[in-house]
């Protein structure tokens, strides 16, 4: 199908909002995305017709609820080309998924002096769990540095990976927009005897994902950044690894048996899904995947590549040296997430001024403080585009920036 | 929606462009550091206390126009004042920002003019910016407690 952004935008009720007679320009999808009618309706319909506990109770309604829930798990499998459906673990979000890997796999397999390699562009969610393991297990962290244009500097990758047990990295930076060479990084990890953990939180919503082609061992991503509801994330892991890992959270659903003297874990995926999950949210995630798949992930990537190409030249042409856009200038290796510095206007003030034009951008450190220090900034402003953003939205941003510089006389 | 002119009053922009009392004080001056973990702003407040009076104050760090101007105005307002007066002023400023001290119902002394600080009143109309405005004030309290 052809990609028609005007038609797509119509699917999103919230994007129809008008505030002070001006349309909403939502440029914060790297933070969280808006939801299409299809997702909202699927969740409402499920709650109105089929909501019931899953994996327990013998009545028909419970069976329907369980079927719908497991159908969504199957959609997740197909979406990332995972080999097996039982490798899809539902978590609260990508942060919890990364914590699950660090604490369960890392807790069981890492010992004092073992090395985990991260990159300097990671989100706190892929840093702090490893810092916690450094404190509890005495592991050592090594960091892949960045090039001047915000890509991974792979010059010394092999020596950094030497002796490492795990390499955990983002597929796309939430600050720089950089798309990393995931397949190459997975291969380098394996050549060094390390497992490859891919943080796909920013990448999966915007690109075709294929964990088999990548050769990854784990992948994490979050529903709310891909048109689905918040409160649900996904961990995919290779079955062999998941089976060998100890459980993460204990409780209902994750057990085969509980005795006074101990317990036996359930099989995958229940083993890692303690307690009642966010059932309706999983249905919503499934609907979001169906929605995105119908449009086509390669079409979405193409649209965003065109959008970021246009945005880069529009901002640079208009503002020249007054604007510094972080990250790669080549749209082939970046997504449509633009962090920038505009004159000397503080990002918080910048987003306040843009808000007058209903332009929603993020201002802050984007949960990536080590990267911010590297950029020499406490904070940046970040505009991030998605399938529903048109070139008009880019123009709105470009035009509204003019006023910010004037206000602060910078 | 309130207009930007309610927030970015000229006096605020003046303190932002030309911050007062920037710098550091060497030990034994009391130092406290404040962070706004959401936006990355950070501030250092140094105070020199003698005989219950803040003799000198210096401000370091980085932040948006609201946090920086609030810190600058605060430094000008508290320099040379007694700790008791300063604690009252902090309470009064936070009251202006709609932040009340829990469990303290005693009346706030509003006999003195707030001066330039009145300009920050408009921040209340932008609730997300209140924490920018009070960052330096909370950090000042820490510095007083450390002194």
Contact B129 A352 (CB under 8 A): yes
Q: Is the pLDDT at A409 greater than 70, yes or no?
A: no
Q: Which residues contact A207 (CB under 8 A, 6 or more apart)?
A: A172, A179, A297, A300, A301, A335
pLDDT value, residue A68:
96
Pairing state of beta strands A337-342 and A255-259? unpaired
- pLDDT band at residue B109, thresholds of 50, 70 and 90? confident
The structure tokens listed for A40 are 């909202």
Contact B4 A407 (CB under 8 A): yes
Q: Chain B contacts of A359, Cβ < 8 Å? A: none
Question: Averaged over A368-390, what is the pLDDT?
Answer: 94
pLDDT value, residue B107:
78
Rounded percentage of chain A residues whose pLDDT exceeds 90: 94
A33-85 pLDDT, tens digit per residue, is: 999 999 999 999 999 999 999 988 889 999 999 999 999 999 999 999 999 99
ipTM: 0.82
CATH 3.40.640.10 domain position(s) in chain A? 41-294
Question: Averaged over A364-388, what is the pLDDT?
Answer: 93
- Residue entry with tokens 């320009």: A25
Best residue of B9, B19, B60, B64 to probe chain A, by most A CBs closer than 10 Å: B64
- pLDDT band at residue A410, thresholds of 50, 70 and 90? low
Residue A367 annotated among the catalytic residues of the structure? yes
Question: Quick one: which of A33, A79, A71, A41 has its CA closest to A295?
Answer: A79
Q: What does the alpha-carbon distance between residue A397 and residue A390 come to, in Å, rounded to a whole number?
A: 11
Q: What does the alpha-carbon distance between residue A127 and residue A134 come to, in Å, rounded to a whole number?
A: 11
Question: Quick one: which of A85, A353, A78 has its CA closest to B66?
Answer: A353
Q: CA dihedral defined by A35, A36, A39, A45, rounded to 10 degrees?
A: 120
A196-248 pLDDT, tens digit per residue, is: 999 999 999 999 999 999 999 999 999 999 999 999 999 999 999 999 999 99
pLDDT value, residue A317:
97
Contact of A106 with chain B, judged by CB distance below 8 Å, is answered with no
Could you say which architecture CATH assigns to the domain B4-146?
Alpha-Beta Complex (3.90)
Contact A349 B66 (CB under 8 A): yes
Q: What does the alpha-carbon distance between residue A190 and residue A241 come to, in Å, rounded to a whole number?
A: 14
- Tell me A247's DSSP state: P
- Residue entry with tokens 């509980």: A258
- Mean pLDDT, chain A, integer: 96
Query: Tell me: domain A5-30+297-407, CATH 3.90.1150.10, correct?
Result: yes
Domain boundaries, chain B: 4-146
Best residue of B17, B39, B123 to probe chain A, by most A CBs closer than 10 Å: B39
B1-34 pLDDT, tens digit per residue, is: 568 888 888 899 999 999 999 999 999 999 999 9
Q: What does the alpha-carbon distance between residue A394 and residue A392 come to, in Å, rounded to a whole number?
A: 5
Q: Is the pLDDT at A195 greater than 70, yes or no?
A: yes
Fold category of A41-294 in CATH:
3.40.640
Q: CA-nearest residue of chain A to B8? A: A407
Q: Chain A contacts of B13, Cβ < 8 Å? A: 408-409
- pLDDT band at residue A157, thresholds of 50, 70 and 90? very high
Q: Chain B contacts of A352, Cβ < 8 Å? A: 4, 7, 126, 129
- pLDDT band at residue B100, thresholds of 50, 70 and 90? confident
Taking phi over 0 as left and psi of -120 to 50 as alpha, with beta for the rest, A387 belongs to alpha
Q: What is the DSSP string of A92-130?
A: SSHHHHHHHIIIIIIHHH--TT-EEEEETT--GGGTHHH
Q: Is the pLDDT at A371 greater than 80, yes or no?
A: yes
Q: Is the pLDDT at B59 greater than 70, yes or no?
A: yes
Is A257 in a helix, a strand, or coil? strand
Q: What does the alpha-carbon distance between residue A330 and residue A333 come to, in Å, rounded to a whole number?
A: 6
A84-102 pLDDT, tens digit per residue, is: 999 999 999 999 999 999 9
Question: Quick one: which of A146, A145, A144, A142 has its CA closest to A130?
Answer: A142
Rounded percentage of chain A residues whose pLDDT exceeds 70: 99
């Amino acid at each position: 199908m052809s990609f028609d952004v005007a038609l797509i935008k119509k699917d999103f009720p919230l994007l129809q909002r008008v505030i002070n007679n001006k349309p909403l320009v939502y440029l914060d999808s790297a933070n969280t995305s808006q939801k299409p009618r299809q997702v909202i309706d699927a969740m409402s319909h499920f709650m109105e017709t089929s909501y019931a506990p899953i994996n327990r109770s013998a009545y028909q309604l419970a069976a329907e609820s369980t079927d719908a829930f497991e159908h969504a798990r199957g959609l997740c499998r197909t979406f990332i080309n995972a080999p097996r459906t039982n490798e899809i673990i539902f978590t609260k979000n990508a942060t919890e998924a990364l914590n699950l890997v660090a604490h369960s796999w890392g807790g069981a397999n890492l010992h004092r002096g073992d090395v985990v390699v991260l990159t300097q562009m990671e989100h706190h969610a892929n840093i702090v769990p490893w810092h916690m393991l450094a404190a509890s297990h005495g592991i050592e962290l090594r960091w892949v540095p960045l090039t001047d244009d915000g890509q991974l500097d792979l010059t010394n990758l092999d020596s950094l990976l030497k002796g490492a047990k795990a390499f955990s990295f983002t597929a796309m930076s939430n600050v720089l927009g950089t798309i990393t060479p995931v397949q190459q990084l997975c291969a380098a990890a394996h050549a060094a005897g390390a497992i490859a953990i891919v943080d796909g939180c920013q990448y999966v919503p915007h690109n075709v994902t294929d964990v088999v082609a990548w050769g990854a061992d784990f992948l994490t991503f979050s529903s709310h950044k891909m048109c689905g509801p918040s409160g649900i994330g996904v961990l995919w892991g290779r079955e062999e690894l998941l089976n060998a890992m100890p459980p993460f959270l204990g409780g209902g659903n994750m057990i085969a048996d509980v005795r006074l003297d101990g317990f036996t874990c359930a099989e995958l995926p229940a083993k890692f899904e303690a307690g009642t999950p966010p059932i309706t949210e999983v249905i919503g995630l499934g609907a979001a995947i169906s929605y995105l798949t119908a449009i086509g992930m390669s079409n979405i990537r193409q649209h965003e590549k065109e959008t970021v190409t246009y945005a880069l030249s529009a901002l640079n042409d208009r503002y020249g040296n007054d604007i510094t856009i972080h990250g790669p200038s080549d749209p082939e290796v970046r997504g449509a997430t633009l962090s920038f510095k505009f004159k000397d206007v503080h990002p918080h003030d910048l987003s306040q001024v843009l808000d007058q034009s209903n332009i929603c951008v993020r201002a802050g450190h984007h949960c990536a403080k080590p990267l911010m220090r590297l950029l020499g900034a406490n904070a940046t402003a970040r505009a991030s585009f998605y399938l529903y953003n048109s070139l008009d939205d880019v123009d709105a941003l470009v035009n509204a920036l003019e006023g910010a510089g004037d206000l602060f006389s910078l | 929606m309130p207009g930007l002119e309610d927030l970015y009053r000229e006096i605020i922009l003046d303190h932002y462009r030309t911050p007062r009392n920037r710098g550091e004080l060497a030990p034994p001056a009391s130092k406290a550091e404040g962070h706004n973990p959401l936006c990355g702003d950070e501030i250092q407040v140094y105070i020199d206390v003698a005989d219950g009076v803040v003799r000198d104050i210096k401000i370091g760090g980085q932040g948006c126009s609201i946090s920086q101007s609030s810190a600058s105005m605060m430094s000008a307002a508290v320099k040379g004042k007694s700790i008791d007066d300063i604690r009252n002023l902090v309470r009064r400023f936070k009251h202006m920002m709609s932040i009340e001290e829990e469990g303290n119902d005693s009346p706030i002394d509003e006999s003195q003019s707030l001066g330039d600080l009145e300009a920050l009143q408009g921040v209340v109309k932008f609730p997300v910016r209140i924490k920018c405005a009070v960052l330096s004030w909370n950090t000042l309290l820490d510095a007083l407690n450390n002194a």
